[in-house]
Amino acid sequence: MSNLSSSDPSPTNPDSESPHGALFLVLHYLPLRELLAFQRVSRIFCDAISSDPSLWREITVQSPLSAKLTDEALLGITSRAEGTLRSLTLIDCVKISDVGLLTVVDQNPEITKLFVPGCLYLTADGMVEVVKRLHERKGNVDQLRLRLYGLCNIKKDHLDVLNSFLCKDGLRSKSLMPSFYGSNHSSGTNNNDDGRPIDVEMCPMCRSVRLVFDCTRDKCRKMEQRWVECRGCFFCIARCEDCGGCIDPDHVSHSESACKHLLCIDCWLQLPKCDTCNRPYCKGHNSFVGPTTGFICQECADGDFLHNVPEAGF
């Protein structure tokens, strides 16, 4: 991981010939991992990548780099933007601390996108301080978008302070935009940029600060009372993994899929079923389903295998 924080990594295979010009155009589209690897191809690429701040204005750190990223390495990467960093997405970067993130923000006051889902070492107090410092440096944070999904111990007081900075004037209407549940939420890979200033809010049912979802069903949207009743976090309202609609509590026990996700009856009926247990996979796991309509789910396949294994004699 030390290579990530190095400002001048030694190329493994320096070339005397200049690469084709088209290759330099590709650099702006490479993910972080590939960009770091590309600069080791030759001295020419090393110099071109490390000396071009525009390549580092939008940084996304995800697996497998996320588990290894430290504060020091993050500072080394973001410093290449030379104070022009606009977007920073840290997905499940469990080693990043409030101190490290605050240092990055101090050096890059023009950040307008800060996504930190699953960064468990960050705190709600730290994120409030981040927004305050951006406000002090820029005078406003009207364009900042925060994604805090997975951050622990966010309380109403934290949310009120964040909203006081982020949800002003026209942005307040964006904060009220509908938010719908999708498979990326259950898998923990949510990186949705729907234009809202912040992704979490107070659940109207449990009063906890979490992702709050609206119902996708037309019949619920047309009934004002029902619309309010089926709006809440995933812990309060069971939702279909495929369509995001609410599921009647009486039907939850009959809505399970072969991948253990919940499906509404409409989606459940449309999907191919396991030949043994008659349960479908949700669309997010349809790679387990073969080209034909019939299949054996993994749980049933494992059960049959264990059932047919002869007992060892002792």
Give the strands of the sheet with 113-115, arranged side by side.
58-61, 87-90, 113-115, 145-147
Long-range contacts of 215-218 (CB under 8 A, 24+ apart): 215/244, 215/245, 215/246, 216/180, 216/181, 216/243, 216/244, 216/245, 217/245, 217/246
Higher pLDDT, 276 or 115: 115
213, β-bridge pairs: 232
So what's the pLDDT on residue 7? 47
pLDDT value of position 260: 85
Question: In terms of DSSP bridges, do strands 209-211 and 87-90 run parallel, antiparallel, or are they unpaired?
Answer: unpaired
Q: Is the overall model pTM greater than 0.85, yes or no?
A: no
Residue 286 has a pLDDT of 74
Whether 76 and 4 have beta carbons less than 8 Å apart is answered as: yes
| Antiparallel, parallel or unpaired: β 209-211 and 200-202 | antiparallel
Going by pLDDT thresholds of 50, 70 and 90, the confidence category of residue 57 is very high
Supply the mean pLDDT for the chain: 82
Tokens at 286, concatenated = 């349809």
Domain ranges of the chain: 1-51, 69-177, 238-306
Cβ–Cβ < 8 Å for 131, 198 = no
Would you identify the CATH topology of the domain 69-177? 3.80.10
Q: What percent of the chain has pLDDT over 90?
A: 41
pLDDT at 227: 56
Asked if residue 92 lies in contact with residue 116, where contact means CB atoms within 8 angstroms, the answer is no
Q: What is the pLDDT of residues 104-127, one digit of tens each?
A: 999 999 999 999 999 999 999 999
- Are the beta carbons of 125 and 153 closer than 8 angstroms? no
When pLDDT is cut at 50, 70 and 90, the band that residue 25 belongs to is: confident
Supply the DSSP string of 267-291, one letter for each residue: HHHHS-BBTTT--BPPGGGGGGS-S
Tokens at residue 68, please? 């290894």
pLDDT at 313: 44
